[in-house]
Homo-oligomer: A and B are copies of this chain.
Amino acid sequence: MNAPTELAHVAPEIKPREVPAALTDALKARFGAQFSEAMVVRVQHGRDESAFTTVPPPAAVVFAESTADVQDAIQLCAQYKAPVIPYGVGSSLEGHLLAVQGGISLDVSRMNKVLSVNAEDLTVTVQPGVTRKQLNEEVKSTGLFFPIDPGADASIGGMSATRASGTNAVRYGTMRENVLALEVVTPKGEVIRTGTRAKKSSAGYDLTRLFVGSEGTLGVITEVTVKLYPLPEAVSAAICSFPTIADAVNTVIQIIQLGVPIARVELLDAGSVRLVNQHSKLSLREAHMLLMEFHGSPASVKEQAETVQDIASEHHGADFEWADTPEERTRLWTARHNAYFAAVQSRPGCRCITTDVCVPISRLSDALLDTVAEADASGIPYFLVGHVGDGNFHMGYLIDPDDAAERDRAEALNHQVVQRALKLGGTCSGEHGVGLHKMGFLVEETGAGAIAMMRSIKQALDPDNIMNPGKVFAG
């Protein structure tokens, strides 16, 4: 495969389908003020945080406020075989939201109610537009929390659709492990439920897991039941600097191999620390850094911290600094979550092409060090952050979107990162999804047979290909 280019991905031979006036008229009649054809609204819904910018926006936007709204919108679109692109808060990174085949953006951000908190069962059921921060705010009084934290304040529906994770996944898992059940509107406009509130089940095909990570291509998620966790009795965060990335990574590998139940362990390279300092007005030491957090009883946190300090010092880790108050920790993690935005703002007008490979933990050095060397050699500004406890890291190449040559160079780097990860037994996407951007990588990773199986499922559930067409697979 050649290095992907933007044009290759949008598959120019597939033209946007016509959205007939009869459909927009019918949607307008049904949805009134919940319907918009205003260009500014359409443009806002026709892009995401990816570097793709050249696709025409959707023909219109419907703001759903209920499952019934979603059903009606889908049934009307199905009647005209018009594409439907579910939209949460627009924070996806791989072109998921772009109307590459035209159609209607179905915005569920107004479906933002926490429907039921079952604190005694450690579960909560929410509408898809609830964001992760909102959810944590609303369950705070119960002493429970929802750990999954992609950088952005994403919607729970969108996080389910992309199988998102974040900094806490090393201990608490990803959306794959934390979604118990979904309500979904199918491409025919029917409502189904994919699970119960039971913690485990062997009852039939795992439809929940099929929809988690399906990127809006199989239906629209209208309710999500997720697990909650007791707020740990004790929490402690620490940063530690390392002379080389290899030292930092080897520290992490050993922490994981020893089974230390660390809650978070994040890598920032020296350049990213500098960007974070500038953006978040911090004065972190500008060296390669691990940012860690420990959860548990006071004794357990102490024990974990001691073990990790021992391991780090064997790998030349220095300057352990502890953040024990909630305020200090929040400041640190907010800065970490803003690393992406800090980087993007460091080069005005740039867009970011983000790699997302994840490899078996023992291969993390192999995957990372050559990647950094290639990026340094390229001259393209970049940042490096990593959910390294999971073997997942992100290189963000900050490109000038109008410089096609630079874009191609960054895509070529991305492709090299992916090919290396696949050779090491890893995946092209740890948490961002395939979208428009990794369709070629997905074929390289899974092979034609597995792709054919995915396509069969898509074809069976969505024969007219109206749900977010042109994502995950080309065409």
A162: chain B residues within 8 A (beta carbon)? 202
Complex CA gap A203/B443 in Å reads 10
Complex CA gap A258/B232 in Å reads 10
Q: Is A427 an interface residue (CB 8 A)?
A: yes
Complex CA gap A356/B428 in Å reads 38
CB distance from A333 to the nearest CB of B (A): 20
Q: How many copies does the complex hold?
A: 2
Q: Is A191 an interface residue (CB 8 A)?
A: yes
A427: chain B residues within 8 A (beta carbon)? 195-196, 198, 200-203
Structural contact, B434 and A361, CB atoms closer than 8 A? no
Structural contact, B361 and A120, CB atoms closer than 8 A? yes
Q: Which of A18-26, A264-272, A295-303 lies at the interface?
A: A295-303
Structural contact, A203 and B434, CB atoms closer than 8 A? yes
Q: Is A376 an interface residue (CB 8 A)?
A: no
Q: Which of A169-177, A235-243, A347-355 lies at the interface?
A: A169-177
CB distance from A431 to the nearest CB of B (A): 5
Q: Which of A59-67, A334-342, A449-457 lies at the interface?
A: A449-457
Residue from the list B197, B212, B297, B451 in contact with A206, Cβ < 8 A? B212
Please, what's the 1-or-0 string for A396-434, where 1 marks a CB less than 8 Å from any CB in chain B? 000000000000000000000000011001111111111
User: Total interface residues on A, using CB and 8 Å?
Assistant: 90
Residue from the list B121, B164, B205, B256 in contact with A202, Cβ < 8 A? B164
Residue in B closest to A209 when the chains form the complex, CB atoms: B209
A308: chain B residues within 8 A (beta carbon)? none
Structural contact, B446 and A203, CB atoms closer than 8 A? yes
CB distance from A188 to the nearest CB of B (A): 9
Residue in B closest to A225 when the chains form the complex, CB atoms: B425
Structural contact, B198 and A434, CB atoms closer than 8 A? no
A139: chain B residues within 8 A (beta carbon)? none
Structural contact, B204 and A472, CB atoms closer than 8 A? yes
Please, what's the 1-or-0 string for A179-216, where 1 marks a CB less than 8 Å from any CB in chain B? 00000001000111111111111111111011011100
Complex CA gap A360/B165 in Å reads 24
CB distance from A209 to the nearest CB of B (A): 3
Q: Is A46 an interface residue (CB 8 A)?
A: no
Q: Is A378 an interface residue (CB 8 A)?
A: no
Residue in B closest to A357 when the chains form the complex, CB atoms: B198
Complex CA gap A360/B451 in Å reads 36
CB distance from A48 to the nearest CB of B (A): 15
Question: If the complex has contacts A209-B209, A209-B210, are A204 and B434 also in contact, measured as CB distance less than 8 A?
Answer: yes
Q: Is A447 an interface residue (CB 8 A)?
A: yes
Question: If the complex has contacts A299-B300, A360-B123, A457-B457, are A176 and B204 also in contact, measured as CB distance less than 8 A?
Answer: no
Complex CA gap A162/B206 in Å reads 11
CB distance from A226 to the nearest CB of B (A): 13
A445: chain B residues within 8 A (beta carbon)? 196, 203
**19 CB-based A-B contacts, threshold 8 Å:** A118-B362, A120-B362, A121-B361, A163-B201, A177-B177, A186-B453, A192-B449, A192-B453, A193-B447, A197-B425, A198-B392, A202-B433, A202-B434, A203-B428, A203-B434, A205-B210, A210-B210, A297-B300, A300-B303
Which A residues are within 8 Å of any B CB, using their own CB? 118, 120-123, 162-165, 169, 173-174, 176-177, 186, 190-207, 209-210, 212-214, 229-230, 232, 253, 256-259, 296-297, 299-300, 303, 356, 358-363, 390-392, 421-422, 425-434, 438, 441-442, 445-447, 449-451, 453-454, 456-457, 459-461, 472
Other than the given A197-B360, A204-B472, 15 more pairs (CB < 8 A) read A120-B257, A122-B361, A169-B200, A186-B449, A192-B453, A193-B447, A196-B422, A196-B426, A202-B427, A202-B434, A203-B441, A204-B213, A456-B461, A457-B457, A459-B460
